[in-house]
Amino acid sequence: MTDKVTDTPMANGSGIATVVKSAGSQFFLSALPEWAPFPAVLRGKVRLDRSKATNPVAIGDRVRFTAGAEGESAVITEVLERSNYLIRRSTNLSKQSHVIAANIDRALLVVTLCFPEIKLPFLDRQLVSCEAYGVKAVIVLNKLDMYREFAGEQIEDFLRIYRGAGYEVVECSAVTGEGIGRLREICSSGVSLLSGESGVGKSSIVKAMDPSLNPRTGLISEAHLQGKHTTSLYEIYPLSGGGFIADTPGLRGFGLVNLEKEEISKYFPEMLRVADECRFVPCTHTHEPGCAVKRALDEGLISPERYSSYLGMLEEDRKFR
């Protein structure tokens, strides 16, 4: 697909638009739902104002801009208040964070049981972040064509864990088309973020949903069964069936940001349903007598896998303090 790029963003030389592409210090803006991207750069003062994040401007941000001189990029002068966003701790900078996307209507968290092998704690950290920052999460279980025949029991266990927690799980194959119709329906309005580890097939899903789009796709490293990075920028695409999809680079780490250990359990829906019945408040759900979460765990109402992820997050919180 070739983007239509406009040289003059607004007749009066200024306005408000949405960031639809981010590649380092270069951006493209469009006044969504209109699709007419134009280039922009970031004014230095905005960088200083949001210095705690490695990226002061993210895709999905609504920004105020002024037009440059003829042939020059527009200048982003202000980032407007966000309705929500998805954020993670930067991989190598534990004190800093990276905003993946802002002002999104939902996040499609793409996983595979194999090729690459799933890491449930990674998925659970993404889910907790979605709950904490007000982003509706849908889980997409992709590449079923590759392992349904030999991993049927694993698939059922996965569905039990996450549907039991209250999440929609879309069983999907970008190759056979299974689940693609449901994803088109989910994404037919607003902006939907695709997020997940490298190699889970996000770009292939985008192309299956709309063949007119051509995001880069890649292969799995045979030596490590790990995904190779194929998407080097953050980009929003218009879908022919309506709505917009935000494709992002594959993630290799996802650290929680600005969450106190006492509140982490509130972002596990299955724990939140029973936590009011705990004898003590606050309750860490680890050692206290009369803990309703521990009782629900013993009764099989909370999966041991999710509870294990919760304990890992408590330990991670202590590590980064």
List, in order of start, the domains of the chain with CATH numbers. Answer: 14-79 (2.40.50.140), 85-247 (3.40.50.300), 261-319 (1.10.40.50)
Residues 244 and 192 sit within 8 Å (Cβ to Cβ): yes
Q: List phi, psi (to 5°) of 98.
A: -135, 125
Assess whether the previous peptide bond of 249 is cis (omega < 30° from 0).
no
End-to-end CA distance of the chain: give it in Å, rounded: 46
At 217 the pLDDT is: 42
pLDDT digit string (tens) for 279-290? 998 899 999 999
Residues 187 and 243 sit within 8 Å (Cβ to Cβ): yes
A 10 A CB-CB count for 255 gives 19
Rounded to the nearest integer, the mean pLDDT of the chain is 84
The Cα 174–Cα 48 span in angstroms is 41
The Cα 317–Cα 303 span in angstroms is 21
pLDDT digit string (tens) for 108-150? 999 999 888 898 998 999 999 999 999 999 999 999 999 999 9
Compare 106 and 119 and report the one with higher pLDDT. 106
The Cα 260–Cα 60 span in angstroms is 27
At 320 the pLDDT is: 43
At 79 the pLDDT is: 92
- 123: Cα separation from own chain's centroid: 10
Q: How confident is the model at residue 81 (pLDDT cuts 50, 70, 90)?
A: very high
Instruction: Indicate whether 17 pLDDT > 60.
Output: yes
Q: How confident is the model at residue 97 (pLDDT cuts 50, 70, 90)?
A: confident
